Structure 1
Amino acid sequence: MSTAFFSLDIIFVVVEIAFTIYLHTHVDQNYPGMIDFLQIVWHIILVLLACLLVIRLLDLGIIVKRRGLTRSLIERYDIAWPIRTPSRHSKTKNEELSGVSILLGGWKPHFPGEARWIIHSRGLFSITLIFALLLYAVSNVVIEPLQENGAILTRERRAGSLMKFLRYQHEHEITSSPASTIVVARRPPFGALSSTSSRYNLSDSVTVEPLWRKIDGFISQSPCIVQEPSTQRLSDTNLPVADTVSLSCVPSQNPYPSHNLTPDRKSQLSYQIILTDLLVTVNFTRLGISIDKQEYTTLDSVQVYLGLTDRVDDAVRKSAPTTLVPGVNLIGMVQVVMRREFVSPSLSTFGIFGSYRTYYTADMVHVWPDPRPLKSNPSQNSPEIGTLRIAFQNDFSDWKIIEDYRDKSVLSGFASIGGLWAFIAGVFTAMYGTSILKTLFGFKPLSFIGLAHWFQRNSLRDACTAEYPLLQQDLQTPLLERGLLSFFYDHLLDVGFLAPSKKETAYATEDHELL
């Protein structure tokens, strides 16, 4: 039992040292998203320390049980004190397993006549491979998956025509189509300080007008709905990030009469219903911004986001804004993009819980000065007014889909460990003719039982002895009569479960002494 505790202790210490070195050399604590990563790592270190404490307490209990309370408190004791293990075919009845052999393995000749340099090189090489594999496992199973949890990777895919998909979604009344357009106006909370809070002036200063084309004299679209203003905050601080106001533009399902319309006309109307022009107007005077004296443009401006979703966070976090300043009239061409992100990035770390949430965003691909306000509405050519006309690009190219993915996960880490282990085990076996586990821990290549049979070892031994009466005789072959079968027992086959238990051996010894 002490051997197992000592081995676990060494493993936990190595993992803690690896975590500490990695945190101080590779992790930038100021990098966005690293806060959750560092919290998880420190929790893992605390769990490892708790496991070490439990192991120390259990080992202390074993020491007190074996040596007594008085001797345990007074006499000097080493955790890796020599442990006696029986040897069936050795000249000495017992072999000592020291703390060094527990950590580095027993460096012994596997075959009679092996040179000392082969024994030493085999031991050093096996230790180097085991520790390299352990560090590789910590990096690929724990550190790298957690690091990707703080900085999610994305990849781009391509699909068929976007326009055909949008029309199909709209004609079949599928609500997942990006028919709901949301415009978000956002500005720093401390910009343009005035007697009235800009948080409450923002909703009065921003208007969004859908520019529906009147075809055949029919138009029945509702105006964009202004949602309640809000103040966005970062998840890890109480400081306000920006004041926002969002306006949702949802077209009616069938604003035009469908009778007496040709298929081409229906297609044209369907396209306009889904993707219409929007005119965003910002009155900077109502925000308390002085037009004659603009001291800091960054604070005296408004960022406009466009999203094809009902969630403000999706539009703000996943799309780039267009900045409006007083007296500027712009027109921007927009491309629709599908976004697929993990529902739970933390669960996706394991590599088997990668469920996605799908929504739509809009990328502003082109922005030019807009000459139309000069002709259509002269009041928009005022120095305190800024406008942005948003138009969806008539794009028949492949549809761009951006989705989250995992390059490193716990499951892929175990898979890479398996491949590395198979490679180094093959190289080691080719060089020394034996396995790494047999070199370090004495595990033989072939075993007849597994962990599931541990609790019925005695019954299995009795059943095998009854089925094969000469098994015990073969195992106890005298030294001068040992042959190929004994050679297999010593180096290839693990038949330890057939040996009698310690209690049975003790009882047999007592009976022999009584006789």
Structure 2
Amino acid sequence: MSQDNRTQPPHQERRPPWWIPQFFLSPALSLFFLRFAVASSIVTAGFTIYYASGASFKGSQQQYLVGNRVAALILGPFTMVHHVGTAFGPRIFPLPMKIDIVLLLAEVAYHLYRVGTLVTRKGSVGARWLGEVSLLYLVSVWFLAFSILGLLITRIFQMIDGGGVHSRWRTVDVARVRTTPWWKYPAHAMFGRRIWDQGVPGESRWLSRLRGFLALISVCALVAFGVYQSIIAPISEMGMTPYRRYRAAFLAQDMTEILSSVEWRVILIWQKHYDAETGLFSAPVLSDSVAAVARWDLTGEEQEPCSVASVQIGMLGLEPNITDVAEVVCPLQQSSTQLPFWDFPNYFISVNFTDIYGPVFPGSHPSFAPHSVRVYVGTVGNLETVIKTTEPISLFPGSHIMSVIHPVSQESFMIATVAQTLPNHYLREELDLNVSSIALTLQNVNGEWDLIQDYRSKSVLSGLSATGGLGSLLSTILVMFLGMSLLGAVLRAKPNSPFGFLHNVRSVQADMVAECDRRYPGLRNEIERVEKDPGVVAYLLNTLIDLQALGYGVHEANPTGSHVHDEEKNESL
């Protein structure tokens, strides 16, 4: 027996195993996953080569996106060559199915690992802001991973359905067409066949080609627009949340309850200075250079000392080796109002820069931002939230200022904004250039409350709505100029059809055929007479009315012929 006879599966009609879902044996499903895999692998390979091959790979964002440089440079282009070669067919790219499944297993393992690291890694998407170009790369990796997974599942079921050991060495044939010009196979595999057929009998070839070309461009535009609006745009907002500002005469009940248990927080942050001689950052602790008191009465005479303690906050840019963070904590005062929120400690905080900065003398210029202590005022228990949601007050060496704090409601907590900052001319002792002070007081007269609310301008639903609007516009243009909607041009579905995708399931289809034969016993004979003498009814059945799912139609008078029609119709997807 020759090698060719051994490698070719026997030509016999056989039913697939009962436990294999028929949906996974459809050639249209394999083509669907292949087209997504080819498109996403090309995008992924291009971005991988760009990010991983140049000097820009040293950037943290490039390392976050690409991961292991060597693996990305090898597996990225290899995956693209694998799937693009599969689309060219067994004549140009003969690949045994068994080897193809092994390659798919390796690819899906690597890309699912990449998806897992990108999603679960601390500081990943949502915690950091990435440009839309970088998000396009992330989305292409996700699409590629799940497209390869879909291809792997369909390949395994198709190999089992083929039966026998010889089917494992059968070459992969996704389009299942035999064409003489070599370029027609990849064209059919990537763009389908029925999309280029005539819409009505006698239609000019250039019209059918124009409709197919416009439908193809419309589908690609819809997919690209839908991916951007429904996936890339919503994700891009996760790292830079938009917000809007409102005004209200009264606060909501839940916010009033929050004010009854609020605690004021004051945080001071000092950026340590680098010593070129020792090669180290300055060692003195900020809390040792800060003194604070709370002034509860209007005269300012009744002062109560506050404690100052060093704290560590796990935020990017606030590492203990380069910054020093201190918190001012004042004893709670018995509330004299219904809302303790208004019982503000009226802080007076002084900072001695002698140890943390060095002596300050006339003629020195400590006027840059790194020379100042940043003062944050907030009401949230989480110090990291206070730093993220409030603007700091810069306290420079030798300066003495007064700041008025204005409360603002943001979602479910209160934040403090600086209404105004003024020089403090009321200090009685002689001023020291090494010592600075800041007096904080609360503006407790509110005409209206300021409310800040986070919102999402982009979402999956809004993206789908925008995509549907573009699809309706493109479909209307096709109907106006070429007489067929976008859905009809792609699926070759007739305008008047009571059937959907689920009606093509074999069991459902068999029940419909049996019931129609019982209710309309003369319908099949009428169709046969129309086929022998075609007229108006034959024209309507060919162009407008769809009965193919039931096996009724001109040039197709038996139920078994509908299966071929369904595969061709689904293949256009």
Letter in 2 for 1:407: S
Alignment of 1:152-301 (within 5 A): 152-160=241-249, 165=251, 174-176=257-259, 179-190=262-273, 201-213=285-297, 224=306, 226=308, 228-235=309-316, 240=321, 242-249=323-330, 251-255=332-336, 273-275=342-344, 277-287=346-356, 289-292=358-361, 298-301=369-372
Mapped pair 1:100 → 2:187: yes
Mapped pair 1:113 → 2:165: no
Q: Deviations over 1:201-231 (max 9, x none)?
A: 322322332222259x998x976454x5223
Alignment coverage as a number of residue pairs: 449
Residue 136 of structure 1 and its aligned partner are, at CA, apart by 0.8
Q: Decide whether aligned partners of structure 1 residues 175 and 272 sit closer, same or farther in structure 2, where only a CA change above 3 A counts.
A: closer
Q: 1:464 aligns with which of 498, 516, 524?
A: 516
Q: 2:217 aligns with which of 122, 125, 128?
A: 128
Q: Deviations over 1:256-314 (max 9, x none)?
A: xxxxxxxxxx79xx799444532121122354633359787554431111112222112
Equivalent in the alignment of 1:316: 387
Letter in 2 for 1:278: Y
Q: 2:531 aligns with which of 463, 469, 479?
A: 479
Contact 1:185/1:206 (8 A) holds in 2: no
Equivalent in the alignment of 2:482: 432
Q: Decide whether aligned partners of structure 1 residues 175 and 403 sit closer, same or farther in structure 2, where only a CA change above 3 A counts.
A: closer
Equivalent in the alignment of 1:259: none
Unaligned runs of 5+ in 1: 85-96, 256-265, 341-357, 506-515
Q: Deviations over 1:349-378 (max 9, x none)?
A: xxxxxxxxx2222222322210112x3xx2
Structure 1 distance, partners of 2:277, 2:249, is 51
Letter in 1 for 2:233: E
Structure 2 distance, partners of 1:477, 1:111, is 21
Structure 2 distance, partners of 1:197, 1:394, is 41
Equivalent in the alignment of 1:496: 548
Q: Decide whether aligned partners of structure 1 residues 462 and 67 sit closer, same or farther in structure 2, where only a CA change above 3 A counts.
A: closer
Q: 1:137 aligns with which of 226, 241, 245?
A: 226
Q: In terms of mean alpha carbon deviation, does 174-183 or 137-146 score higher?
A: 174-183
Structure 2 distance, partners of 1:22, 1:148, is 22
Equivalent in the alignment of 1:420: 470
Contact 1:305/1:320 (8 A) holds in 2: yes
Residue 421 of structure 1 and its aligned partner are, at CA, apart by 0.9
Letter in 1 for 2:533: E
Q: 2:151 aligns with which of 39, 49, 55?
A: 55
Structure 2 distance, partners of 1:192, 1:304, is 24
Structure 2 distance, partners of 1:322, 1:160, is 28
Q: Deviations over 1:374-415 (max 9, x none)?
A: x3xx26x22322101122235534432222222222221111
Contact 1:199/1:243 (8 A) holds in 2: no
Q: Decide whether aligned partners of structure 1 residues 366 and 237 sit closer, same or farther in structure 2, where only a CA change above 3 A counts.
A: closer
Equivalent in the alignment of 1:4: 29
Residue 9 of structure 1 and its aligned partner are, at CA, apart by 1.2
Letter in 2 for 1:324: L
Q: Deviations over 1:3-35 (max 9, x none)?
A: 33123211333245456778969xx97699236
Mapped pair 1:82 → 2:171: no
SS in 2 for 1:402: strand
Residue 124 of structure 1 and its aligned partner are, at CA, apart by 1.6
Structure 1 distance, partners of 2:534, 2:260, is 80
Q: 1:146 aligns with which of 235, 239, 258?
A: 235
Q: 1:368 aligns with which of 410, 422, 426?
A: 422
Structure 1 distance, partners of 2:232, 2:202, is 45
SS in 1 for 2:433: coil
Residue 330 of structure 1 and its aligned partner are, at CA, apart by 0.6
Q: In terms of mean alpha carbon deviation, does 463-472 or 317-326 score higher?
A: 463-472
Letter in 2 for 1:150: G
Q: Decide whether aligned partners of structure 1 residues 291 and 399 sit closer, same or farther in structure 2, where only a CA change above 3 A counts.
A: same
Identity, % of aligned pairs? 20
Contact 2:313/2:383 (8 A) holds in 1: no
Q: Deviations over 1:231-271 (max 9, x none)?
A: 3344599775522112245754534xxxxxxxxxx79xx79
Structure 2 distance, partners of 1:481, 1:422, is 39
Q: Decide whether aligned partners of structure 1 residues 337 and 229 sit closer, same or farther in structure 2, where only a CA change above 3 A counts.
A: same
Structure 2 distance, partners of 1:239, 1:18, is 41
Letter in 1 for 2:389: K
Letter in 2 for 1:52: I
Contact 2:33/2:150 (8 A) holds in 1: no
Q: Decide whether aligned partners of structure 1 residues 252 and 449 sit closer, same or farther in structure 2, where only a CA change above 3 A counts.
A: farther
Q: Decide whether aligned partners of structure 1 residues 188 and 19 sit closer, same or farther in structure 2, where only a CA change above 3 A counts.
A: same
Let me know the Cα RMSD of the aligned residues. 4.4
SS in 2 for 1:229: strand
Letter in 2 for 1:201: V
Mapped pair 1:329 → 2:409: no
Structure 2 distance, partners of 1:446, 1:318, is 58
SS in 2 for 1:362: strand
SS in 2 for 1:79: coil
Q: Decide whether aligned partners of structure 1 residues 438 and 430 sit closer, same or farther in structure 2, where only a CA change above 3 A counts.
A: same
Q: Decide whether aligned partners of structure 1 residues 430 and 241 sit closer, same or farther in structure 2, where only a CA change above 3 A counts.
A: farther
Residue 329 of structure 1 and its aligned partner are, at CA, apart by 0.5
Structure 1 distance, partners of 2:323, 2:46, is 38
Q: Decide whether aligned partners of structure 1 residues 101 and 503 sit closer, same or farther in structure 2, where only a CA change above 3 A counts.
A: closer
Contact 1:179/1:274 (8 A) holds in 2: no
Letter in 2 for 1:284: F
SS in 2 for 1:434: coil
Q: Decide whether aligned partners of structure 1 residues 449 and 198 sit closer, same or farther in structure 2, where only a CA change above 3 A counts.
A: same
SS in 2 for 1:80: coil
Contact 1:280/1:389 (8 A) holds in 2: yes
Structure 1 distance, partners of 2:276, 2:185, is 75
